[in-house]
Amino acid sequence: MKIKATEIVDTFAEAFKMYGTRVIITAETKAWAMAAAQSITGFATSVIGCKCEAGIEQEISADSSPDGRPGVSVLLFAMDADSVGKRLVERIGQCVMTCPTTACYSGLKSEHSVNVGGQLRYFGDGFQISKLLNDKRHWRIPVMDGEFVIDDQFHVQESVGGGNILILGKTQKAALNAANAAVKAMRQLPDIILPFPNGVVRSGSKVGSRYKSLIASTNDAYCPTLRSVSKKTELDKDINCVLEIVIDGLNLEAVETAMRVGIESAIKPGIKQISAGNYGGGLGQYQIQLHELLPQAQ
């Protein structure tokens, strides 16, 4: 399949079942809410090394937030519900409760929940207060600028992680231009995040390594400097830069939509191919076929 001068490779992205949650952070100003959101999503690019994957979903206007103040929604994903709960306690406690004027609320409705505010309340040292509003329990924890309000329970649901596209460019400049366009378009969508720096990753990985202590290592098949020495290379002489965009979403449809929008937006001059990373279908529960995402181009 070709769209303009770009080949869409007949392959699939291999995605995984994860568990995800939405955290809504509000504050007296948008700037403080964003400061807390940026902090809570730091060092959260991959479960391989960070224990979770997280990112900013969108800004929330005051008239749409839980307490009538400006806010930011954050999505966080881990491999199981208990891990989501642990990461929330750690990150909200260290990155949101510490930020002036903030409050923190669960932004999902689901059957499963994890105890977050109910654990962080102990920071109040016995001065914390429980409040029930509309059958929902909150905690008011005294802090030095007033009170930190947080939901007792945060809801968690089955989600999808590891959707991805690979942008194969003739030059680094062309690949960066295409990746930036794809990221900009995908970030307009709800229910997804792009967990890597500015949405883009250059150090794509494969499973395993010649070093036994590593579970993942550089994806030599897509490294231009290894084209002449790697037996697994997927690159011809015209491709000199490969960039990956990873997508996590609260459901499969959201990830598929983001991949489609990303592919369409990445078709730019100098992009020879758009592909996806997979492990032969043996690891992930979802195989997202690129050609099926673009039926209008068939």
Task: Give per-residue pLDDT as tens, 212-256.
Answer: 999 999 999 999 999 999 999 999 999 999 999 999 999 999 999
Pairwise CA distance, residues 28 & 33, whole Å:
8
Per-residue pLDDT band for 134 (boundaries 50, 70, 90) equals: confident
Of 165, 162, 159, 205, whose CA–CA distance to 185 is shortest?
A: 165
Rounded to an integer, the average pLDDT of 267-296 is 93
Domain closes at, from 125, 157, 189: 157
Q: What are the pLDDT digits (tens) for 261-281? A: 999 999 999 999 999 999 888
CATH number of the structural domain spanning residue 120: 3.30.70.520
Pairwise CA distance, residues 145 & 103, whole Å:
12
Q: Map tokens 């102990």 to a residue.
A: 122
Rounded to an integer, the average pLDDT of 282-286 is 90
Per-residue pLDDT band for 283 (boundaries 50, 70, 90) equals: confident
Rounded to an integer, the average pLDDT of 120-125 is 98
Do 109 and 168 share a structural domain?
no
Do 291 and 247 share a structural domain?
yes
Do 190 and 95 share a structural domain?
no
Spell out the residues 6+ positions from residue 142 whose beta carbon is closer than 8 angstroms to its own. 124, 127, 128, 148
Domain closes at, from 157, 175, 198: 157
Do 179 and 131 share a structural domain?
no
Rounded to an integer, the average pLDDT of 5-19 is 97
CB 195 within 8 A of CB 53: yes
> Which own/partner contact pairs does 178-182 have at CB distance under 8 Å and 24+ positions apart?
178/243, 178/265, 178/266, 178/267, 178/268, 178/270, 178/271, 179/243, 179/245, 179/266, 181/265, 181/266, 181/268, 182/245, 182/261, 182/262, 182/263, 182/265, 182/266
pLDDT exceeding 90 applies to what percent of the chain? 95
Do 103 and 213 share a structural domain?
no
Do 245 and 282 share a structural domain?
yes
Do 171 and 103 share a structural domain?
no
Do 172 and 132 share a structural domain?
no
Pairwise CA distance, residues 65 & 27, whole Å:
10
pTM for this prediction: 0.95
Rounded to an integer, the average pLDDT of 12-16 is 97
Q: What is the extent of the structural domain holding 122?
A: 19-157
Per-residue pLDDT band for 297 (boundaries 50, 70, 90) equals: low
Please state the length of the chain: 298
Q: Which residues pair with 72 in a beta bridge?
A: 25, 59
Q: Which residues pair with 206 in a beta bridge?
A: 217
Task: Say what the pLDDT of residue 282 is.
Answer: 84
Do 71 and 10 share a structural domain?
no
Do 173 and 138 share a structural domain?
no
Of 121, 162, 123, whose CA–CA distance to 258 is shortest?
A: 162
Task: Say what the pLDDT of residue 295 is.
Answer: 78
Pairwise CA distance, residues 41 & 36, whole Å:
9
Do 30 and 113 share a structural domain?
yes
- In the predicted model, what is the mean pLDDT of the chain? 96
Spell out the residues 6+ positions from residue 92 whose beta carbon is closer than 8 angstroms to its own. 23, 40, 104, 116, 120, 150
Do 117 and 231 share a structural domain?
no
Domain closes at, from 157, 187, 216: 157
Number of domains, the chain? 2
Task: Say what the pLDDT of residue 229 is.
Answer: 94
Burial code (b: 16+ CB inside 10 Å, e: under 16) for 160-174 equals bbbbbbbbbbeeeeb
